Amino acid sequence: MLLDSSHRKAHRRWRVPTRICRTTIAIQLLLLLTVSLVVCGLLEASDAGASFLSMSGQKVLDVHTDPDPGAQDSPGHVQSKPNLHKYTYTTLPGYFLQDDPATKPGSFEFMKTNFGLVQRSYDSDENLPNKGRDMTAWQRFENHITTLNRAEERKRHGSEEGSHTRYKLLFLGRHGNGYHNIAERYYGSEAWDCHYSALDGDPEHVMVWSDAHLSKEGRRQAAEVNDFWKAQIKGQKMSLPQTYFVSPLDRAMETAQITFKGLLDKFDPTVMERLREGTGIHTCDRRSDVSYIRDHYPDFITTQDPLLTESDEFWDPDLREPDDAVTTRLGKLFDQLMQSEKFKNSERISFTSHSGAIGATLRVLGHRSFSLGTGAVIPVFVKVETSKELDKRHGVGGQGEGGNHAKVVDGQDASLADTMAVDKSKWGKIPSCPADMDLKTVGQKRWKMDLKDFVTGVENGTVQLEEVAFRGVH
């Protein structure tokens, strides 16, 4: 049936709005789909970036992420709900001489023993060319670590559920000799603990030990370790650590800077507040402001740790952090780092810190006590087991201590209470000096020389300092 022209015009007028409506709906659906995809992408990016440290070492939790590690932070800290994991740290014996109870810490020299690496075979040698006979001990050991981690990765099959196991080689380096070490040796530990440790320096103004710096001897020790690394890389074809962390105290940062000078295109370790020495009373353990760190160590990353505040909020002028609290703090540091992709995906990791912090770390990792001289390094081969299931015996905020112990991470909203022992009633006050101690002459009587001559003797090698075992004080 044919329609007249007037009817066809009316029909076309009704069809136009219908087409517009259909087109509008299609556009709306397309826009809705696009927005959904964008939102999902942002959420995935947020999850990927929620780890404490990024793979690049430059991304941070703050919305003000700055690629320059020395850049000033701005307000606007973004917090996320912490993942609740538990971790078990186990030192694996039979790899280093330092693990063996027969090895005496006082006489052990890591630079004369290939870092203490035990000469042995590994199952993974079977898969190497010529079964590894043409490779160095360190090449075969590093291959062993990688083989173990790849086997665990195959077990996981990309799943985030269930238990995970990772193997890590940690290099724990103690700072070189500092002016506080010289002062304690000159005055003696008793006079140091009861009086001089609370001062910024000596009364004669020979030296300052607040946030103690390296002495000339300390710089020499760090340079010697630098030469040792170079020799190991050349002779043993040893690989450098993949990730670096350092205490915020000056003596540790300068030690790390000298130790790895010239070994990397850019040495940019991450400064971690929890890696510092036992804190309180002793001014040598009171750190400088973050602005000082950025001025003197511009390549060091100071924007990754939310606990690293501008001024030192951890140091207490009246109370001293006890060893068990330092152990708890270092355990939390490792739990904190295990939340980061940067740490989790690294097999070889360097930490530069202090005698007390290293002693606490060894306790966390289940390693036997092993005191280090200033400037010394101890490697520790560790198995880290991770599970999504919380340990109900401890619960959130539990303070499990020691090796082979599951601990719950405190997450990215860490506060001072999370880091330091909450009950400061167990922290120690400065001890009283003996009534018969003459503080003005105690050093002179011990060494038959004044402090200036003593410092000169230490730095030119005519005065030898005896090492002090772990006491958590320097």
Dihedral angle sign, alpha carbons of residues 87, 88, 94, 98: positive
Region class of 256: left (phi > 0), else alpha (psi between -120 and 50), else beta: alpha
DSSP string, 386-455: EESS--TTT-TT----STT--EE---SS--HHHHS-S-GGGSBPPPPPPTT--TTTHHHHHHSS-HHHHH
Contacts of 434 (CB under 8 A, 6+ apart): 190, 194
Q: Which of 175, 213, 405, 474 is catalytic?
A: 175
CA dist 207 and 474 (Å) reads: 17
Pairing of strands 164-174, 348-353: parallel
Reply yes or no on whether 213 is catalytic: no
For residues 41 and 60, what is the distance between their CA atoms, to the nearest angstrom?
19
Contacts 24+ apart (CB under 8 A), 15-21: none
DSSP, res 111 = G
Helices (H) and strands (E) in the chain, counts: 13, 7
What's the rounded Cα separation, in Å, for the pair 208 and 211? 9
Distance CA 184, CA 455 (A): 12
Cβ proximity of 34 and 25 under 8 Å: no
Pick the closest to residue 171 from 4, 439, 322, 372 (CA basis).
Answer: 372
CA–CA gap between residue 17 and residue 11 (Å, rounded): 11
Q: What is the dihedral of CA 288, 294, 295, 300, to 10 degrees?
A: 110
Distance CA 279, CA 323 (A): 10
Active site residue 277: yes
| 33/28 Cα distance (integer angstroms) | 9
- Three-state SS string across 13-69, please? HHHHHHHHHHHHHHHHHHHHHHHHHHHHHHHHHHHHCCCCCCCCCCCCCCCCCCCCC
- Collapsing DSSP to helix, strand or coil, 176 comes out as coil
Q: 164, 277, 282, 405: which one is catalytic?
A: 277
Listing DSSP states for 373-393 in one string gives: -TT-EEEEEEEEEEESS--TT
Report, as residue numbers or ranges, the catalytic residues. 175, 277
